[in-house]
């Protein structure tokens, strides 16, 4: 095969693009084409936008909006929080904020609850969370949904083997909700509480305790429903070679390559934009024809080949 020092074959290009796509889908496994605002108050993965907070107030956006509307912003991953409506496109994001998925501004949900997590701070130590520097394990309290460092939890108790529990209740929440956790308050020995995954049946089920938990503290009565966006289509196999280098795939390369051109055209005044669209269509067809022979013969596309293509285009324009 021809040496690939200054170029790349269409086949290799496709393979590299598939691997990039596979890695991206692993990092973002869900579809992100729908904002959850219209779903109302739900338990869902949330992201606080510190960039938008500079122009507004504490806020959080859904998974889809974190990608489509705030991908270039400073975000703090909050993980799952209950009874929360996405703030994207509301006044909490700043005056005139618009959600790109809903294409509209909306009124902020009045019953959303916020704490220091929405500033990027967590735990009783109120430390700012930096994922690039954080080394220890953190645990989320089932009740308040704040996150706590293992070393901070261990300061008030003997920390158990992590494999011996699934759920954690911080000391403050335990003290504030003793009547929902213990039939008799005197049963409480102090400190946080560590629970197995199926703990619900281990709590008092008497006629007084169970109805009270179901009404006031439902997270202690049964496992909660957590909204997750629909999963993206099945990930391509890392070693899969089933995709063939044909006209359709070459066309997809050209389309992908030209997307950035269209983004620039969209920013032009109307007359120039219309002219640009026509020029775009002609260039796309020519580029497609130019790449087909390389794809069929698995020949390397070099920088010189590309330069020659555009030089020929420039000569045609000057005639």
pLDDT tens per residue, range 67-102: 899 989 999 999 999 999 999 999 999 888 889 999
Q: What does each C-alpha distance from 108 to 37, 42, 199 come to in angstroms?
A: 9, 15, 36
- The domain in which residue 244 lies consists of 7-16+240-318
**Short-list 57, 53, 75, 58, CA closest to 66:** 75
Tokens of 242: 């089933």
Tokens of 150: 């293992």
**127-128 and 147-149: which strand pairing?**
unpaired
User: In this structure, what DSSP letter does residue 57 have?
Assistant: -
With b for 16 or more beta-carbon neighbours within 10 A and e for fewer, the 68-100 pattern comes to bbbeeeebbebeebeebbbbbbbbbbbeebebe
- CATH number of 88's domain: 3.30.40.10
Domain annotation covers residue 230: no
**What is the total count of domains within the chain?**
2
* Reported pTM: 0.66
Sign of CA pseudo-dihedral 41, 47, 52, 53: positive
| Shared domain check, 45 and 177 | yes
Q: Determine if residue 91 is left, alpha or beta; phi over 0 gives left, psi from -120 to 50 gives alpha, anything else beta.
A: alpha
At which residue do the structure tokens 């790349």 appear?
A: 8
**147-149 and 193-195: which strand pairing?**
unpaired
Domain annotation covers residue 26: no
| Shared domain check, 115 and 77 | yes
**75-84 and 127-128: which strand pairing?**
unpaired
Element (H, E) at 25: helix 10-27
Q: What's the pLDDT at 243?
A: 45
Domain annotation covers residue 296: yes
Identify whether the C-beta of residue 36 lies closer than 8 Å to the C-beta of residue 62: yes
With b for 16 or more beta-carbon neighbours within 10 A and e for fewer, the 26-41 pattern comes to eeeeeebebbbbeeee
| Shared domain check, 123 and 268 | no
Q: How many Å apart are CA 157 and CA 152, to the nearest integer?
A: 10
Last residue of a domain, one of 220, 254, 273: 220
Domain annotation covers residue 27: no
| Shared domain check, 268 and 207 | no
CB count in 10 Å sphere of residue 146: 21
Chain-centre distance of CA 237, in angstroms? Answer: 22
Identify whether the C-beta of residue 98 lies closer than 8 Å to the C-beta of residue 89: yes
| Shared domain check, 157 and 46 | yes
For the CA atoms of 283, 286, 290, 292, the dihedral, rounded to the nearest 10 degrees, stands at 110
Domain annotation covers residue 229: no
Domain annotation covers residue 118: yes
**Short-list 120, 73, 127, 121, CA closest to 97:** 73
User: In this structure, what DSSP letter does residue 299 have?
Assistant: -
- pLDDT under 50 in the chain at which residues? 1-3, 5, 241-245, 268-273
Non-local (6+) Cβ contacts of 85 within 8 A are 36, 37, 39, 40, 41, 42, 109, 112
């Amino acid at each position: 095969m021809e040496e690939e020092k200054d170029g790349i074959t269409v086949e290799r290009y496709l393979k590299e693009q598939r691997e990039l796509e596979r890695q991206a889908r692993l990092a973002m496994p869900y579809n992100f084409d729908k904002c959850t605002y219209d779903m109302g108050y739900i338990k869902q993965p949330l992201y606080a936008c510190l960039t938008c907070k500079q122009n507004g107030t504490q806020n959080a956006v859904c998974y889809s909006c974190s990608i489509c509307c705030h991908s270039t912003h400073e975000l703090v991953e909050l993980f799952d929080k209950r009874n929360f409506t996405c703030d994207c496109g509301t006044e909490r994001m700043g005056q005139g904020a618009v959600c790109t998925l809903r294409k509209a501004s909306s009124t902020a949900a009045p019953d959303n609850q916020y704490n220091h997590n929405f500033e990027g701070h967590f735990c009783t130590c109120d430390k700012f969370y930096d994922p690039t520097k954080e080394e220890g394990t953190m645990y989320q309290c089932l009740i308040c949904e704040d996150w706590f460092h293992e070393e901070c939890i261990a300061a008030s108790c003997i920390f158990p083997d992590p494999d011996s529990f699934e759920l954690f209740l911080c000391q403050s929440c335990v003290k504030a909700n003793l009547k929902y956790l213990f039939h008799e308050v005197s049963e409480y020995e102090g400190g946080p509480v560590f629970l197995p995954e199926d703990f619900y049946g281990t709590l008092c089920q008497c006629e007084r305790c169970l109805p009270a938990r179901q009404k006031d503290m439902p997270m202690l009565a049964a496992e909660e429903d957590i909204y997750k966006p629909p999963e993206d289509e099945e990930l391509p196999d890392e070693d899969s070679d089933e995709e063939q280098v044909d006209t359709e795939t070459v066309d997809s390369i050209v389309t992908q390559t030209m997307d950035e051109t269209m983004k620039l055209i969209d920013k032009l005044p109307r007359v120039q934009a219309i002219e640009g669209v026509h020029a775009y269509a002609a260039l796309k067809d020519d580029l497609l024809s130019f790449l087909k022979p390389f794809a069929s013969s698995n020949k390397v596309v070099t920088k010189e080949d590309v330069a020659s293509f555009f030089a020929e285009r420039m000569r045609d324009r000057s005639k």
